[in-house]
Amino acid sequence: MTARAKFVALNLVLLLQSAVWGWSQDFRMTLLRVPNRGIQPQAVIDKRGTIHLIYYKGEAEAGDIFYVRQPAGQTGFTSPIPVNTQPGSAMAIGSIRGAQLALGRNDRVHVAWNGHAPKGRSYLEAPMLYTRMNDSGTAFEPERNIITTARGLDGGGSVAADDRGDVYVMWHAPKPGQKAEEDEAAVFVAKSVDDGKTFGPEKLAITNATGACGCCGMKAFADTNGNVLAFYRAARNLTQRNETLLLSNDRGATFEIVFSHDCRMAACPMSSSFLSWTPNGILAAAESQGMIYCFRVDPATGLHVPPGLRLQAQGKYPVAVGNARGRVLVTWIEGSSWGKGGTVAWQVFNQGDGYPVSNRAKAGAVPAWSFATAVTRPDGSFTIIF
């Protein structure tokens, strides 16, 4: 059997499995492979039901980002569009430095990722790269470095956008003039008010000395009401690595800490975090000492809305999405480590009481440096892409 035949056969099996799961449970599920054998998928879905997807191709140390979409009612993806104009300007190594994706006003696509320091230079000169889809929706503009003073980017940055034209690029780095140490790092935010055409200089999100875990990812999110959130791992005293949630209720003018999950570790766990909107509040997902956890956040107050999902799973790179019926899909990767792939696992929960409404299942394997993403379609069904 050829490689293509095996790929097609696997997808048929996945679709059959999804049909069985959808018939036997109070939800429907579709499982899709990343097109063109890409890795590190990131997906969002617009109000019309079109899935917007980016993925990585190439060597782990230097590769490229591509964008595709799947319109509602179709099963295939469009032809890929290159995101980065400088070949090899992205990286996949570490799994948390790759590209992140956001939809802004008029569903314009915004992408940000960790860039490479100039050859032979310190990582302290690495850029935080950003690009957006052009006005005609046919290509991406040349990427730009958003950093002006807050250099020392190590772990994953993030991007968020809203339907007012505001775009936020966020990252963590040492404060200017401070030592390049995790406990000296802070979260910075650069904001655009013109759909990413221009950005103001970055500023500190908060003045509190939380530090930032250097090789952990961050997730930024903006909703339609002017609320902006950032979920990242702190590194106070290099041992207190609490997953920390920042909230702004004034379109990024000021932030405050609204949640901190206790985690005491002497080393960086190289973890990621996730935020997504649901009709019942914002979902936040992360890992702590190898265990996945997920909870709901009131975007107006930032308060943790009980109950948390009763999820007892060991893994990395969690993603959580919910639908209007109060069902929450959580997917994560099991068995993954540095340079080693793993297996996609998932489970569906009831948001009202936090209890599972499906058995835990496994979708398939992912290669090194990769993970899964997920979206909720307008009809309430879920799609996992891995």
The reply to whether 2 falls in a domain is no
Give how far Cα 61 sits from Cα of 106, 187, 217, 369, Å.
34, 25, 17, 11
SS3 86: coil
**Phi, psi (degrees; rounded to nearest 5) at 26:** -85, 45
> Are the CB atoms for 262 and 242 separated by under 8 Å?
yes
Mean pLDDT of the chain: 90
Rounded CA-CA distance 153/339 in Å is 21
Residue 152's contacts (CB-CB under 8 Å, 6 or more residues apart) are 123, 124, 173, 174, 180, 185
The reply to whether 25 falls in a domain is no
pLDDT band at 10 (very low <50, low <70, confident <90, very high): very low
Residue type, 83: V
Structure tokens at 82: 């290159």
* pLDDT value at residue 263: 81
The reply to whether 7 falls in a domain is no
pLDDT band at 15 (very low <50, low <70, confident <90, very high): very low
The reply to whether 339 falls in a domain is yes
Domain count, the chain: 1
**What is the number of other CB atoms lying within 10 angstroms of the CB of residue 378?**
13
The reply to whether 24 falls in a domain is no
pLDDT in tens, 159-185: 999 999 999 999 999 888 877 788 888
Compute the residue count for the chain.
Answer: 386
Structure tokens at 325: 């019926």
The CATH number covering residue 166 comes to 2.120.10.10
User: Is the confidence at residue 189, as pLDDT, over 60?
Assistant: yes
The reply to whether 264 falls in a domain is yes
> Are the CB atoms for 210 and 204 separated by under 8 Å?
no
The reply to whether 21 falls in a domain is no
Rounded CA-CA distance 123/357 in Å is 45
Structural domain range at position 245? 38-385
